[in-house]
């Protein structure tokens, strides 16, 4: 880890990052109380985390089903490179496409899509099918959802994974 990053992500910085990921609406004063810093020091630390692009935004978590989007699906799209710009333009334009990942393997893209119904999902698939072959998986449930990320946490966790015998 570069020195500047190590400095900002010292134990206090890590606590601050954890706290703001848990609740980005906390005031600088409350964040400071939780991590042992003054409100101005918290503001400065958060500004540095933003400058380093460790924090890239603050968002509310919204329940799609409560807004009528009861169907979540992953669509895998196999296409040719000459169609990538049009696929990306469609992914940007359609609000139902929540994520678009360019991936390795036989597919070119994996898209996370929200739809109000199966016919709605079918219409999204039809639009994507104009650019290549699609394969769709409808999400039945999401039993594990993780929020928040700590530096080094994942790398350290991988070394501790117990492999089945």
Q: Helix, strand, or coil here: 67?
A: helix
Beta strands in 17-164 (DSSP E): 71-78, 97-102, 109-115, 133-138
Whole-number Å distance between alpha carbons of 145 and 148: 10
Give the CATH number of the domain where residue 111 resides: 3.30.70.920
Give the predicted TM-score (pTM) of the model: 0.80
pLDDT tens-digit map of 115-160: 999 999 999 999 999 999 999 999 999 999 888 888 765 444 444 4
Residue 7, in any domain of the structure: yes
* C-alpha distances in Å from residue 53, one per residue of 50, 91, 123: 5, 24, 36
Give percent of the chain above pLDDT 90: 80
pLDDT at residue number 60: 87
Residues 41, 78 share a domain: no
Average pLDDT, the chain: 91
Number of domains in the chain: 2
The CATH number of whichever domain residue 7 belongs to comes to 1.10.10
Do 78 and 132 lie in one domain? The reply is yes
Q: Are residues 72 and 16 in the same domain?
A: no
Residue 94 in any domain: the answer is yes
Structural domain contains residue 163: no
Task: State whether 80 and 106 are in the same domain.
Answer: yes
Same domain, 45 and 68: no
| pLDDT value at 3 more than 80 | no
Residue 8: pLDDT over 90: no
The span from the CA of 81 to the CA of 102, in Å, is 11
Task: Please tell me whether residues 47 and 83 are part of one structural domain.
Answer: no
Query: Taking a C-beta distance cutoff of 8 angstroms, is the pair 128, 87 a contact?
Result: yes
In a domain, 155, yes or no: no
pLDDT value of residue 164: 57
Per-residue pLDDT at 153: 54
Of 35, 43, 36, 49, give the one whose Cα is nearest residue 7. 49
For residue 111, the enclosing domain spans: 64-138
| Model pLDDT, residue 33 | 96
Element (H, E) at 48: helix 39-51
pLDDT computed for residue 160 by the predictor: 47
């Amino acid at each position: 880890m570069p020195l500047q990053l190590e400095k900002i992500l010292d134990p206090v910085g890590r606590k601050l990052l954890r706290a703001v990921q848990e609740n980005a609406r906390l005031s600088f004063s409350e964040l400071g109380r939780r991590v042992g810093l003054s409100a101005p020091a918290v503001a400065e630390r958060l500004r540095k985390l933003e400058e380093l692009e460790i924090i890239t935004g603050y968002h509310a978590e919204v329940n799609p089903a409560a807004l009528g989007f009861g169907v979540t699906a992953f669509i895998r799209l196999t296409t040719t490179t000459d169609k990538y710009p049009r696929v990306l333009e469609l992914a940007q334009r359609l609000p139902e496409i929540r994520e678009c990942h360019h991936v390795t393997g036989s597919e070119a893209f994996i898209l996370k899509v929200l739809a109000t119904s199966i016919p709605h999902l079918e219409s999204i698939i039809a639009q994507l099918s104009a650019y290549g072959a699609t394969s769709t998986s409808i999400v039945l449930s999401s039993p594990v959802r993780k929020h928040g990320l700590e530096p080094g946490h994942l790398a350290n966790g991988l070394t501790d994974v117990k492999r089945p015998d």
